[in-house]
């Protein structure tokens, strides 16, 4: 049976897309006292949500987009929560037909920030506001309080922000939602958040792998170590759930579940976007990059099969002081994680400059403290670092983090060296240490690269001792240098 036409202007806000994320977001809004218009491409889902969760608040279901838009109070706020990509554009096209000047379309999907910029510009020309909002926290977050990263205009945020702040996670009384910046800034920050999440997961994975290889710990024992670490600097949602995953025993076989899961990591693409975008912006996000490539390597069956019998010529592990080794791994993990965050913030800073966004890094760390997957205690320290110096060029240069890295460095070096000696892959641990050593180097071999480039392509070079651009005539006798 078709849903009857709702009363015009009766809803505070609307959600299109009654998949898991969309329906949970709608329920969160309804539970917080908002009258929520809901609709879906196939209306059976709309009816189901309205009936099943009626006791949680006020849902105003619509059969189609026309009714849905008209059911919203003006200026209208309509959220799209569908599969990112063409489906988002299809929804926008439908919304446009029934919306009026000043209405707001909010895309809460995982859209690519450049799509958001394009959509925002197109809709602005039509007199509509478009807000790309990053929403993190998965299904549970959407229902119980996610971290929300809305971009778009300040005007749109004034209308939308109070609702989003109310339904977001709260930490120490503060909402995990703030206006990130204009047009695609929200989706950009969400993208980098996801990239950092990749690195965060990978460093935990590397620590787990080293503890198993070097000490022969069982998954459950590693889980206990992680539960202990979770009480200190490394206190985070990811550490907590990792401990749970490692302790899980398969009911059927009695074996650790993690040993029965295929070791081929999947991805939905946001880590890849973070790396691709970082390349465009020329920002080295080596931690995120290696974490993304590590997933790629794990999911390359042909290459892995071809290399199965490769000789490693690695020394066997012989750890004398097991507790000291565990502590070394913890420190290597912490330092590598700080580097990954530092690099992620550099990417946000570079994009802010490129696209003219006013992004407060400290606020980003603050809204990531709750609701989202990378929520962690040390985000408080990141917020403090950026509050002290909003222009901080490197998070690892902040007094607190610099001190921490200094504490961790000897252990970090030992672990990276041992991983290499004993044949254990630790791509993020080792690339993060290389980044640290690279960025602090007084001289880099980049000078030689410039010489090579000048030799084969006349790409020229600058000199340390005088102004100007130079080229050596490599093919000529005596190789004279000329100024360009």
Which positions touch ligand ATR (CB under 6 A)? Answer: 17-22, 40-42, 45, 82-83, 87, 90-91
Question: Residue 321 corresponds to which tokens in the numbers above?
Answer: 């002081």
For residue 222, the tally of other CB atoms under 10 A from its CB is 25
By C-beta, is 25 or 416 nearer to ligand ATR?
A: 25
**Min CB(91)–ligand ATR separation in Å:** 5
Minimum CB distance to ligand ATR, residue 99 (Å): 16
| Residue that has been written with the tokens 């993990």 in this structure | 333
Question: Contact, 146 vs 176, CB < 8 A?
Answer: yes
Of 91 and 239, which has the nearer Cβ to ligand ATR? 91
Which CA distances in Å does 209 have to 110, 127, 222, 425?
Answer: 31, 54, 9, 9
Tell which residue, 249, 202, 243, has the closest CA to residue 225.
Answer: 243
Angle between helices 379-388 and 399-422 (to 10 degrees): 130
Q: What is the nearest approach in angstroms of ligand ATR to the Cβ of residue 289?
A: 27
Q: Least separation, in Å, of the C-beta of 168 and ligand ATR? A: 19
- Determine whether the annotation assigns residue 285 to a binding site: no
Other C-beta atoms closer than 10 Å to the C-beta of 229 total: 23
Within a 10 A sphere around the Cβ of 319, how many other Cβ atoms?
15
Question: Locate tokens 């912006």: which residue?
Answer: 281
Length of the chain: 484
- To ligand ATR, the closest distance from the beta carbon of 191 in angstroms equals 18
Q: Is 268 annotated as a binding residue?
A: yes
Rounded CA gap, 312 and 75, in Å? 65
Q: Which among 63, 120, 165, 197 is annotated as catalytic?
A: 197
Neighbours of 315 (CB within 10 A): 10
Question: DSSP secondary-structure letter at 397?
Answer: G
**Was 300 annotated as part of a binding site?**
no
Q: Which is nearer to ligand ATR, 57 or 138 (CB)?
A: 138
Q: Of these residues, 45, 190, 337, 404, which one is catalytic?
A: 190
Q: Is 190 a catalytic residue?
A: yes
What are the two backbone dihedrals, phi and then psi, of residue 62, each rounded to the nearest 5 degrees?
Answer: -130, 145
Query: Is 320 a residue of the active site?
Result: no
Q: What are phi and psi of 204, to 5 degrees?
A: -65, -40
Tell me the three state secondary structure of residue 136.
Answer: strand
- Please tell me whether 361 is known to bind a ligand: no
Judged by CB, which is closer to ligand ATR: 84, or 335? Answer: 84
Question: Which residue has the closest beta carbon to ligand ATR?
Answer: 19
Annotated binding-site residue? 42 = yes
User: Is 341 known as a binding-site position?
Assistant: no
Q: Are 73 and 89 in contact (CB under 8 A)?
A: no
The two three-digit tokens of residue 191, written as one number = 């993208």
d(CA 188, CA 274): 9
Between residues 64 and 73, which has the closer beta carbon with respect to ligand ATR?
A: 64
Q: Which is nearer to ligand ATR, 81 or 156 (CB)?
A: 81
Give the nearest distance from C-beta 38 to ligand ATR in angstroms: 10
22 is in an annotated binding site: yes
Q: Is the distance from CB of 31 to CB of 56 less than 8 angstroms?
A: yes
Residue placing its CB nearer to ligand ATR in the complex, 42 or 309: 42
The answer to whether the annotation marks 83 as part of a ligand binding site is yes
Q: Is 85 annotated as a binding residue?
A: no
Burial string for 459-470 (b: 16+ CB within 10 Å, else e) reads ebbeeeeeeeee
Residue 43 beta carbon to ligand ATR: minimum distance, rounded to whole angstroms:
9
Annotated binding-site members: 17-22, 40-42, 82-84, 110, 136-138, 193-194, 198, 268, 295, 453, 459
Q: Which residues are catalytic?
A: 190, 197
Annotated binding-site members for substrate: 110, 136-138, 193-194, 198, 268, 295, 453, 459
Annotated binding-site members for NADP(+): 17-22, 40-42, 82-84, 110
């Amino acid at each position: 049976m078709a849903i009857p036409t709702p009363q015009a202007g009766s809803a505070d806000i609307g959600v299109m897309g009654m998949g898991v994320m969309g329906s949970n977001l709608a329920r969160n809004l309804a539970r917080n006292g908002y009258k929520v218009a809901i609709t879906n491409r196939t209306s059976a889902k709309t009816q189901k949500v309205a009936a099943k969760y009626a006791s949680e608040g006020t849902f105003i279901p619509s059969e189609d987009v026309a009714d849905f838009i008209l059911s919203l109070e003006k200026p209208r706020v309509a959220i799209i929560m569908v599969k990112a990509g063409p489906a988002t554009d299809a929804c926008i096209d439908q919304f446009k037909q029934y919306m009026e000047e000043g209405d707001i379309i909010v895309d809460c999907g995982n859209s690519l920030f450049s799509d958001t910029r394009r959509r925002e510009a197109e809709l602005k020309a039509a007199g509509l506001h478009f807000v790309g909002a990053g929403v993190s926290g998965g299904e549970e977050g959407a229902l119980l309080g996610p971290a929300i990263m809305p971009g778009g205009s300040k005007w749109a945020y004034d209308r939308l922000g109070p609702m989003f702040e109310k339904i977001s996670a709260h930490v120490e009384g503060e909402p995990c939602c703030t206006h990130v910046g204009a047009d695609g800034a929200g989706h950009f920050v969400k993208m980098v958040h996801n990239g950092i999440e990749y690195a965060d997961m990978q460093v935990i994975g590397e620590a787990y792998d080293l503890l198993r290889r070097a000490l022969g710990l069982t998954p459950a024992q590693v889980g206990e170590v992680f539960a202990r670490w979770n009480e200190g600097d490394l206190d985070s949602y990811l550490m907590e759930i990792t401990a749970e995953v490692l302790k899980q025993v398969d009911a059927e076989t009695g074996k650790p579940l993690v040993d029965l899961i295929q070791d081929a990591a999947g991805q939905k693409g946001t880590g890849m976007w973070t790396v691709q975008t970082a390349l465009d912006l020329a920002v080295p996000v080596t931690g995120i990059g290696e974490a993304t490539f590590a997933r790629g390597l794990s999911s390359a069956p042909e290459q892995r099969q071809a290399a199965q019998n490769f000789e490693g010529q690695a020394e066997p592990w012989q750890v004398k002081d097991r507790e000291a080794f565990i502590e070394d791994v913890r420190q290597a993990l912490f330092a590598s994680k700080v580097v990954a965050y530092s690099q992620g913030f550099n990417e946000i800073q570079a994009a802010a400059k490129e696209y003219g966004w006013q992004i407060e890094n400290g606020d980003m760390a603050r809204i990531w403290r709750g609701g989202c997957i990378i929520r962690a205690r040390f985000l408080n320290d990141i917020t403090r670092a950026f509050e002290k110096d909003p222009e901080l060029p490197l998070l690892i240069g902040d007094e607190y983090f610099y001190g921490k890295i200094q504490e961790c460095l000897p252990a970090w070096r030992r672990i990276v060296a041992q991983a290499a000696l004993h044949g254990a892959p630790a791509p993020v641990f080792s690339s993060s240490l290389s980044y640290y050593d690279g960025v602090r180097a007084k001289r880099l071999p980049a000078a030689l690269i410039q010489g090579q480039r000048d030799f084969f392509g006349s790409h020229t070079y600058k000199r340390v001792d005088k102004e100007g651009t130079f080229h050596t005539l490599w093919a000529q006798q005596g190789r004279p240098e000329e100024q360009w």
